[in-house]
Amino acid sequence: MTKEELKNLKVAKSVDARGTACPGPLLAAKKAIGDIESGEVLEILSADEGTKNDIPRWCEKVGHQFLGYFDEDSYSRLFLIKG
Amino acid sequence: MESIDQTTIEKLKAEIEALKSTSKRLESSRKDQLSIAIISGDMDKIMAAMIIALAAAAMDTKVKLFFSFWAIGALRDPAKHPKGKNFISKMFGWMLPKGVDHLKLSKFNMCGMGPWIMKKLMNQQNVLSLREMLKEADELGVEITVCEMTMNLMGFKKEEFIDYPHLRFAGAATFVAEAGESSMQWMI
């Protein structure tokens, strides 16, 4: 997905994990995913570089669909659909 | 299109059946489970084990940690003072770390300067402290087993450990049995 498409997604929940390093963003995502329904979009804000690799692997393993990410000044915004 | 003769199809079918039974056997013998035997009492090594344990648990892998030997000191609660220890047990208790906040680094310990600097850096860079990691582990259902034999060897008492709901006491056979079911078995 392009940055524009990601920006226009209807996000059901956004979790701000910029204040934690690995594995904090993953733990935050894991907690937040319980609050949304299957098919809804979860957004994760992370300042941890490794998260960009970790979240797709997590999605792959537990059955969510990773949509992509884009970078802001000092952090990244990652998007996925709950499986 | 080239026609495939009957014997080739039969061969492939047989192969698929064989693969099916193999994968079924593998699935039932190896669970999506991580077993780590933590023997070291060093802050850095316990941290590494805890970080991986948390990541695995967040990825829905069942995690079972087996604390043995020097690692047991990390699970002590400094606020608890068990009674009825003999002289040697008291000495052990006095010399070994009282909980996760009092661990040494395997390198650059420098009489406690190293851990102090490490904790400061971890705090600056938003890395969870070991205490926070234990709390997260608890919420994710990570099971911790204290090796009963080494606990007795060092004169520790069950009453002096942290209040961790998934804490239990068992022996080597428990670790071996559970590690055998796990798709990942590690030791540090």
**CA B1 to chain CA mean position, Å:** 56
Using alpha carbons, list the distances in angstroms from residue B141 to A33, B58, B104, B137. 17, 10, 27, 6
- The whole-number pLDDT of residue B2 equals 62
Give A51's strand partners. Answer: none
pLDDT for residue B1: 53
Question: What is the CATH number for A50?
Answer: 3.30.110.40
**What letter would DSSP give residue B34?**
E
In three-state secondary structure terms, B49 is: helix
Q: What phi and psi, each to the nearest 5 degrees, are found at residue B88?
A: -65, -45
Can you give the pLDDT of all 188 residues of chain B as single tens digits?
A: 567 788 899 999 999 999 998 888 777 678 999 999 999 999 999 999 999 999 999 999 999 999 999 999 999 999 999 888 999 999 999 999 999 999 999 999 999 999 999 999 999 999 999 999 999 999 999 999 999 999 999 999 999 999 999 899 999 999 999 999 999 999 99
Give the count of beta carbons closer than 10 Å to the beta carbon of residue A14. 13
- Give A62's contacts in chain B (Cβ within 8 Å): 59-60
A62 vs B54, B60, B128: nearest CB: B60
Give me the domain span that covers residue A21.
3-81
Answer yes or no: is B11 within a domain: no
Calculate the alpha carbon distances from B112 to A60, A65, B39, B103 in Å: 42, 46, 21, 9
| Residue B103 lies in domain | 31-187
- Examine residue B57 and state whether it is found in any structural domain, yes or no: yes
CATH code (residue B164):
3.40.1260.10
Number of domains observed in the structure of chain B: 1
CB < 8 Å to B54, chain A: 23, 26-27
Rounded-to-integer distance, Cα B136 and Cα B47, Å: 13
Q: What is the pLDDT of residue B26?
A: 72
Closest by Cα among B24, B60, B38 to B141: B60
Q: Which of A21, A22, A27, A62 is catalytic?
A: A22
Is B79 inside a domain boundary? yes
Whole-angstrom distance, CA of residue B49 vs CA of residue B24: 30
A22 is catalytic: yes
Residues of B within 8 A of A27 (CB-CB) are: 54, 58, 136, 140
The verdict on residue B16 lying in a domain is: no
First to last CA, chain A: 18
Chain A, nearest residue to B57 by Cα: A27
- Structural contact between residues B141 and B57, judged by C-beta atoms closer than 8 angstroms: yes
ipTM of the complex: 0.83
Q: Rounded to whole angstroms, how far apart are CA atoms A13 and A79?
A: 10
Domain count for chain A: 1
Q: Is residue B118 part of a domain?
A: yes
